[in-house]
Copies of this chain bind each other. A is one copy, B any other.
Amino acid sequence: MNIPESNYPRLVIIGGGFGGLQLARTLKDKRFQLVMLDQNNYHTFQPLLYQVATAGLEPDSIAYPLRKIFKHQANLIFRMAEVQKVNTETKIVSTNIGELEYDYLVIATGSKTNYFGMQDVAKHAMPMKSVAEALNLRSLMLQNFEKALLSETQKEQEAIMSFAIVGAGPTGVELAGALAELKKHVLPSDYPDLDIRRMSIHLIEMAEEVLPPMSDKASAKAFEYLERMGVTLWMGQSVESYNGETIHFKKAKPLASRTLIWAAGVKGNLVEGIDGSEIFRGRYKVNAYNALEGIEDVFAIGDVALQKGKEFPSGLPMLAQVAIQQGKNLGLNLISKAQNKTQKEFEYKNLGSMATIGRNKAVADLGKLKLHGLFAWFVWMFIHLIALVGFRNKVITFFNWSYNYLNFDRGVRLIIRKFEKIEH
């Protein structure tokens, strides 16, 4: 793969997400040769993908070139590559651009959409795990309104303007809220000859509440916000099948909807050749040091790793903050190991969780502090702005948010590349 030789041990990191990034930063100027592989040349700030999908932000606000992140880190080499296979015996990673030996391997490949084996849903539903998928969703949504204009019957128009979201975790809730705001503030003036009241937004959740992992107070408040904003809530419902036109539920009447957005689950992005430690939802079981047991010098961090934690007997949640903390701990442990010092077991520090539903409407659980409304919304914005990589991205996002807030607008209603769903 044309990687120069080095006197230091080579640590290959697969994936430039939250975990991989933090690990690489922790090892800056340390005695390792880091090689980061990612299929994209940028880091994606996934928590804001839904804003790309709903025309609030352009990709450049939430994606950041990986080469730029590491331009002052001399011990890191980046290659845009798709990993095809790992051989843990010979310690070789095979990719579409060649092979690479490693001394240590860290799998930080994150997660992908999990359709739980439902092939019809996988075929017809829209995922939203990458920038390209978010852009597809943006195009499809806007195309739907253009299509609705041409529709002769009210029934068809309503099906075209129906948006069903499965999964009321933060992604589903935030997406539903953003669509409700588009409906209220943007679409009526964009489509004066369309009766936008016929648009409907459905949020479908298997549990009996929205935002199940959050506090009861946050769930109740989010439910109230969504209801007030006109989102139809289907609690305790799960999808049985979807043919691109009609959603069939396990215990409710069918719903006609041409767009089904799947935010109901993810599973680890596994790497071929690494076996033996897989369990729940296809995540790699790791020990307290994020090492894969039984395989030498291979680690996993972030969504793809399944690590037990206090209060989390079935594994830590798949969240950015877990990945970041694991990346840091693993980096420090690798340094300690090289110096023959004691390594530290990973301990997850829950910094809290939050979700935004709409203007002035957010919920936040920060330890014992439960916030909602305007103040929670400011905290949400502040934390997300701070977390964005790069000064330029912070400023552009801040400006876009301020502009959208003041003008009740969404600036990026562009269909740059048309997206057509597979015909059935």
A residues contacting B by CB (< 8 A) are 1-2, 4, 40-42, 58-60, 63, 65, 67-68, 71, 74, 77, 79-80, 97-98, 131-132, 135, 142, 146, 149-150, 152, 189-193, 390-393, 395-396, 399-400, 403, 409, 411-417
Give A387 to B190 CA distance when docked, in angstroms. Answer: 23
- A189 contacts B71, C-beta separation under 8 Å: yes
Give A127 to B97 CA distance when docked, in angstroms. Answer: 28
- B416 contacts A131, C-beta separation under 8 Å: yes
- A142 contacts B41, C-beta separation under 8 Å: yes
Give A97 to B399 CA distance when docked, in angstroms. Answer: 37
A67 shortest CB reach to chain B, Å: 4
10 interchain residue pairs of minimum CB distance:
A67-B190, A58-B58, A65-B413, A71-B189, A58-B60, A60-B412, A80-B146, A41-B415, A42-B414, A392-B411
- B149 contacts A41, C-beta separation under 8 Å: no
Q: Which residue of B lies closest to A73 (CB)?
A: B192
**Chain B residues whose CB sits within 8 angstroms of the CB of A80 once the complex forms:** 146, 415
- A60 contacts B392, C-beta separation under 8 Å: no
Q: Point out which of A71, A98, A416 has the most chain B C-beta atoms below 10 A from its C-beta.
A: A416
- B41 contacts A413, C-beta separation under 8 Å: yes
Q: Which residue of B lies closest to A186 (CB)?
A: B68
Pull 21 A–B residue pairs with CB atoms less than 8 Å apart, ordered by A.
Answer: A2-B150, A41-B142, A42-B413, A42-B415, A58-B59, A59-B414, A60-B414, A63-B414, A65-B190, A67-B190, A79-B146, A80-B146, A97-B150, A98-B150, A131-B414, A132-B416, A390-B411, A392-B399, A395-B399, A395-B403, A399-B399
Q: Which residue of B lies closest to A76 (CB)?
A: B192
- A414 contacts B4, C-beta separation under 8 Å: no
**Chain B residues whose CB sits within 8 angstroms of the CB of A97 once the complex forms:** 150
